């Protein structure tokens, strides 16, 4: 009986232990499941957080790309260039800019031309321009107006004048319409080099053409390049307009029936020795007389001349060997049609110089340079109204023309070309 009881007791104990073990196993399983669920939730949360970070990064990257797209690379680069330019202290000299225009004439026709960042010119040692000086050029400016526009002044007249120069030098004419288009394109490509309004600085534009292929016999070249570069320049007169002293030269600027009325490079080459000598002797420029008689006033090495009589009339020299200055032509138009000042274009004998109240040189660089004295072989002829700057009539002309260029005064039709 004891044995039976012991067996029953043992069975109960085993059953209880099994039950306890089962309960324990169930608890362990439940705990494992809970832990698994918690881990799964954590993994899900981590994935969600990672996805959110990824989406946020993508949104930020997209915004950065959009912002970058709104600011072209050229503009950013140009701003960096502008920061390096001290507009207030800019010299009247050359500075390399981003783009220039080049067109080539070969096989009897001009190619389409292009803007390029390459500022070098590669030529044969026997190129026509190097051997026989077959070249001509132009000069004009671009400005920032008070309302922020970028404009050029009468480039169509520069195109027409270069056309005459090319015809006289047996060079192919670059079409007027393409000339103007190229000027505007180069200015637009370098618009961040156009000095700001009020700085006194401007963007100088230099179109030029030359014989490019080898020429050993004296004859025109067969191939040519037409180019335009631009460079920002400071005001011609630092610290305000200053009066200058000039002298009458014994040398000739141009031969009778020669190239004086076109903008040929050779005209300027022959004047270099004379201008250096003038500077050594304290004069700013040379006034050249007519080459036939050495009696009549013509122009200086780089500018036309204006005289003002004591009764307020403008008198300017007339000659077939004078370069037709676009600035002078514009000032004459302003005088007659806006300021209603009488103008005479005629031969001026050098004996008349003392009868004028004001004298000024006019050209692209300075617009008007007042002359306080002309030295004529021991005789100093002075213009009292220009002792300390421009006289009253020259000042009116200057203010009106620069007012038109800067947008203060309504320009005559066709004078201003806006760069867009």
Kindly list the catalytic residues: 263
Burial call 105-122: b when 16+ CB within 10 Å, e when fewer: beeeebeebebeeeeeee
Which pair of structure tokens corresponds to residue 124?
A: 């044969």
Neighbours of 35 (CB within 10 A): 10
| Residues 309/391, Cβ–Cβ less than 8 Å | no
| Residues 313/341, Cβ–Cβ less than 8 Å | yes
Which pair of structure tokens corresponds to residue 389?
A: 């700057």
The label of the residue with tokens 């007339």 reads: 318
| Residues 144/195, Cβ–Cβ less than 8 Å | yes
Shortest CA distance to 246 belongs to which of 282, 276, 298? 282
Shortest CA distance to 191 belongs to which of 138, 149, 228, 157? 149
Burial of residue 30 (CB within 10 Å: 0-12, 13-18, 19+) is: exposed
Shortest CA distance to 391 belongs to which of 338, 329, 314, 330? 314
Element (H, E) at 417: strand 416-418
Query: Which residues, other chains included, contact 113 with Cβ-Cβ below 8 Å and sequence gap of 6+?
Result: 101, 102, 103, 104, 178, 182, 226
SS3 39: helix
In angstroms, the CA 263 to CA 161 distance is 8
């Amino acid at each position: 009986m004891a044995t039976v009881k012991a067996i029953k007791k043992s069975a109960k104990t085993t059953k209880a232990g099994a039950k306890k073990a089962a309960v324990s196993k169930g608890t362990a399983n439940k705990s494992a499941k809970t832990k698994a669920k918690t881990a799964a939730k954590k993994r899900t949360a981590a994935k969600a957080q990672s996805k959110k970070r990824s989406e946020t990064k993508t949104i930020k990257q997209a915004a950065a790309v959009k912002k970058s797209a709104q600011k072209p690379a050229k503009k950013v680069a140009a701003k960096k260039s502008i920061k390096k330019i001290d507009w207030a202290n800019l010299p009247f000299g050359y500075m390399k800019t981003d783009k220039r225009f080049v067109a080539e004439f070969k096989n009897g026709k001009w190619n389409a031309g292009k803007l390029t960042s390459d500022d070098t010119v590669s030529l044969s040692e026997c190129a026509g321009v190097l051997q026989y000086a077959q070249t001509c050029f132009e000069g004009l400016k671009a400005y920032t107006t008070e309302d922020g526009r970028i404009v050029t002044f009468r480039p169509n007249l520069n195109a027409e004048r270069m056309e005459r120069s090319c015809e006289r030098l047996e060079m192919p004419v670059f079409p007027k319409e393409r000339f103007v288009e190229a000027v505007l394109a180069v200015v637009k490509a370098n618009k961040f080099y156009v000095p700001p309004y009020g700085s006194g600085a401007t963007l100088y534009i230099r179109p030029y053409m030359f014989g490019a292929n080898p020429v050993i016999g004296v004859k025109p070249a067969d191939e040519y390049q037409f180019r335009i570069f631009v460079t920002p320049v400071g005001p011609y007169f630092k610290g305000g307009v200053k009066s200058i002293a000039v002298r009458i030269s014994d040398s000739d600027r141009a031969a009778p029936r020669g190239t004086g009325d076109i903008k040929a490079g050779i005209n300027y080459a022959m004047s270099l020795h004379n201008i250096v000598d003038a500077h050594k002797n304290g004069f700013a420029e040379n006034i050249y007389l007519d080459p036939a008689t050495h009696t009549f006033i013509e122009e200086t090495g780089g500018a036309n001349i204006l005289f003002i009589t004591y009764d307020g009339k403008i008198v300017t020299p007339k000659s077939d060997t004078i370069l037709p200055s676009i600035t002078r032509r514009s000032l004459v138009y302003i005088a007659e049609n806006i300021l209603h000042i009488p103008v005479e274009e005629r031969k001026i004998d050098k004996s008349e110089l003392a009868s004028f109240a004001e004298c000024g040189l006019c050209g692209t660089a300075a617009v008007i340079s007042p002359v306080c004295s002309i030295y004529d072989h021991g005789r100093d002829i002075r213009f009292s109204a220009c002792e300390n700057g421009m006289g009253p009539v020259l000042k009116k002309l200057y203010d009106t023309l620069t007012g038109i260029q800067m947008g203060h005064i309504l320009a005559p039709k066709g004078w201003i070309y806006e760069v867009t």
